[in-house]
Chains A and B, each alone.
Chain A
């Protein structure tokens, strides 16, 4: 049985729901968004990921209509949004602070947007009840926002923004105020609701784990530009640059000089007089160019003896062990002063663990374990 993979961005016939066309946004002399072009498709769960001040919130506020575009165009379902005020957009936003109306009950908060639509009373009641059911808030309908917990407030905010059945829902750091455990549960809840309602979600977050969990595609942003847009696994396995590799997860970066070796491989000469590391890459590098290998710690094997088969191996000394419960990260110092992080799953009990501090071990990885990056 073949399963259709959700990937409208790969289908040239698919019409995007949102189009950013050469969008620039300036606040005085500060450029928040710099000539940005990006399509977002219907039913997508699109994550804008980046450090604070990278422009992700500005992008969202432009979609909601709270900020005007300085140059360029934003199209929603083919329509230019420049002159459309926030209250006339088929877009709703879930605010970071939730922005629940303190003087209204949970029920009235959810009904607020529907009342502006001049909906018949019976229809309105049914819609509010449906939203309460969807977010499991039936019991709290009569309470005021300050009489419920943080997690419940978050769900009220979600229900309120979904009630008007928007084409596009914007979520501004929606889980930032929740503690870790609740946040993880809520992430799955969000995905579930997104799937049930079929709404397009755009989420702004600085938490890379969160964006990887919920999103169909992740856009990594820096200084007003999108550095890379891809599915979570692509972003993780094939980062486009050092910035992305470093921002998402843990990574070892080895700098060196590239020389061609074989069909699509390169040797990276990382230290004078040492055996160069080898890696395969679809990129073409020029001879003698500066290049980097980015390897995730879990892709590096740790062993007592030199492995026979691995093409890249080096001996080092364990200087630190971070025990995380389900896995351990070894910090291994190799000749030349570089420290490489290697991660292994703790499938055996701690007492049986074979390596300890100051042990000499071999690190090894395959040709395709790391990505070769130019910058």
Chain B
């Protein structure tokens, strides 16, 4: 008898002729997530992915599977030869190992050449358990489900089903450029994008010496956490100091943030275009700060040449924090370093900017050239899930 994990696909099943590509992609992603378990072997089928444990611990492996998007659920399954006596014996063993009182047997028989019908198998297995234990049958609310699937080559036996992350396999939805500040929200937004199958690259605006290099370390640490979902993440660091200084020099202070955000979207659009990213994404949540009111967003987003996705738009902060804790980015995000949005104090930023006014302010200085400088002088880093260092 072999012990396996059976993965079920979620929304994938609705994807018609692309399904094969999706499954292959998911297979690669699963293998990557589980690569530290060197004994595992894989069977990638049209209906399920089977992972042979070969002695690896189910609990450890299943914990990692929860991070892989595109899996609807999974179960620990026992693979048996097509032999009714073996099935009886193993089903009984499984029932006795669980400390429960009521059960139900549910059989599926895709292999129609197997001579015994599903109902009959249910009766035979239930009878075996009833005769050899204190279990009682409860067809409505059983504490223990004994699931049996009779396929061409094997019989599969399992009890429960663990719900996984859902979503789509990473990479199936194209690539996005994620604006990352280092706060609590943007890593969560990045995670939700990846969960939906969309790969991310990140852009960060740095204003040294007003911002500390420690912020970059923080960003790198955050991305390191996110490599649990995408093994390699590119980070573009924009040298934003000069442009930001010019904004504060020329623009009415109440509009400084609005203009700064518009510049960021312009730069992000240019970088995304060069990188062939299809959308810009960020961690904005409606109403959270002055630049995230509907009015602000509409004036700011006008300058973007790409669609902007805001996975957290309607999330409450407490719910965002819950996810941040789940993906273990929260403790990094709350490290007290300033980002470029907080360095110049703006006492009364406008929450209802006017587009014409914004354009007026922008005509006071030659921002196009400053944007060129930003885009042409990006620092590019690649964050990977590898932690190796020659010294270690």
Are chains A and B native binding partners rather than an unrelated pairing? Answer: no
- Show the binding face of A for B, using Cβ within 8 Å: none
